[in-house]
Structure 1
Amino acid sequence: MDLGHWVMKSNTTAEAVDLESMPGHCIRRLQQIAVAVFLQETESHGMTPVQYSALQGVMNAPGIDQRSLARSIGLDTSTIGSVIDRLEVRGLVSRNASPTDKRVRMLTLTPMGREALEAVIPSMLQAQERMLDPLTKPERAEFMRMLRILVVANNELSRAPGEV
């Protein structure tokens, strides 16, 4: 792909640029669409994509600390605190002090959290299907393969690098 048409022609003059040809613009739009579809499909559960990721992350690693959870789902440590606050208020996760470091908070799903996670999974999976609906099965696999390449290759550029 020729990227030259994205660059200003001189230091002082900007040229008209087709936003739809810019990967950053399309990725941002796709993120907006992904969130909208997720929220539509999971509306009855009152869960955001980030809350779902946090619950699933705790389910995958019971007793995980907040910092490790943030890293595992690609969130910054200041954001994960408020996400866990909301999940704790709803009775979905519990925080417990680490036996080795009282400053570290270990996370576990409550029985209600496990039920909420199990209840939202069919809607979450339906959202994933809807997002990829315009693609054929082979295109879906190729899109996901290329998406993972971009995420892994650019992970360290993120303000909150995830575990890849």
Structure 2
Amino acid sequence: MQKAHSSLFRAADRFLGEEVGLSTSQHAVLLILMQHDGAPISAIAGELKMGKSSLTGLIDRMEKKGLVSRRQSADDARSFEIHIRDHGRHLVRSTLPGTKRINRSILEPFSAQEQEVIARFLNHVASNADEIVATQTSRKHKENHPQ
């Protein structure tokens, strides 16, 4: 799974960089903002499973490129909301047809029934990744450090 993830991530990063000048992480932020414009950094970080400090640096770079803007929250003066700008919206929209073609190409060799299993598997991993890793890490720790 790690090899597949790394290969796909590198290829996507290369494609997005060459086509529209975005990193995969920047693209992911823009996709979230297309659905939830004005999201706080903490919500974006949670959705991407990314540290807030790492995301803050990414947002800084995106702001300099004119992709997003940061506004102080009306509800909490210590918090900022991230808004997608027209340039960011345009770039994301330009990538959607290619992303859909890539997704179709990945699944093309598989039957409809196999695609359903793949979708269930990916949803399971995405929804339970923290718990799966924590359980296995805890089990390994107990095996190596018996009471």
More helix per residue: 1 or 2?
Answer: 2
How far off is 1:156 after superposition?
4.0
In the alignment, which residue of structure 1 is the partner of 2:12? Answer: 38
Larger radius of gyration, structure 1 or 2?
Answer: 1
Output the amino acid matched with 1:38: A
Cα deviations across residues 59-81 of structure 1 (Å, max 9, x unaligned)? 11111100111112222212211
Asked if 1:92 corresponds to 2:64, the answer is: no
Aligned equivalent of 1:50 = 25
Q: Give 1:147 shift.
A: 1.9
Structure 1: give runs of 5+ residues left out of the alignment.
1-26, 160-164
> Are 2:104 and 1:129 aligned?
yes
TM-score by length of 1: 0.71
> What's the RMSD between the two structures over aligned residues?
2.1
Amino acid at match of 2:81: M
Residue identity (%): 22
Q: In structure 2, list runs of 5 or more residues that go unmatched.
A: 135-147
* Residue 111 to residue 135, structure 1, CA distance change in 2 (3 Å): same
- Highest relative contact order (Cα 8 Å, sep 6+), 1 or 2? 1
Aligned residue in 1 for 2:128? 153
The residue type paired with residue 34 of structure 1 is L
Q: What's the counterpart of residue 71 of structure 1?
A: 46
Q: Quote how far apart the aligned CAs of 1:38 are.
A: 1.5
Amino acid at match of 2:8: A
- Cα distance change of structure 1 residues 69 and 158 upon mapping to structure 2, 3 Å threshold: farther
Distance 1:92 1:82 in 2: 14
Q: How big is the shift at 1:86? A: 1.8
Q: Judging changes above 3 Å, is the alpha-carbon distance between structure 1 residues 134 and 79 closer, same or farther for their aligned structure 2 residues?
A: farther
- What CA distance in whole angstroms lies between the structure 2 residues aligned with 1:40 and 1:65? 28
The Cα shift of 1:96 comes to 0.5
Residues 37-46 or 112-121, more deviating: 37-46
* TM-score w.r.t. length of structure 2: 0.78
Partner of 1:12: none
- 1:66 partner letter: I
Residue pair 1:59, 1:108 contacting (<8 A) in 2 also:
no
Distance, in Å, in 2 between the alignment partners of 1:158 and 1:77 is: 21
1:60 aligned partner: 35
- The count of residues paired between Structure 1 and Structure 2 equals 133
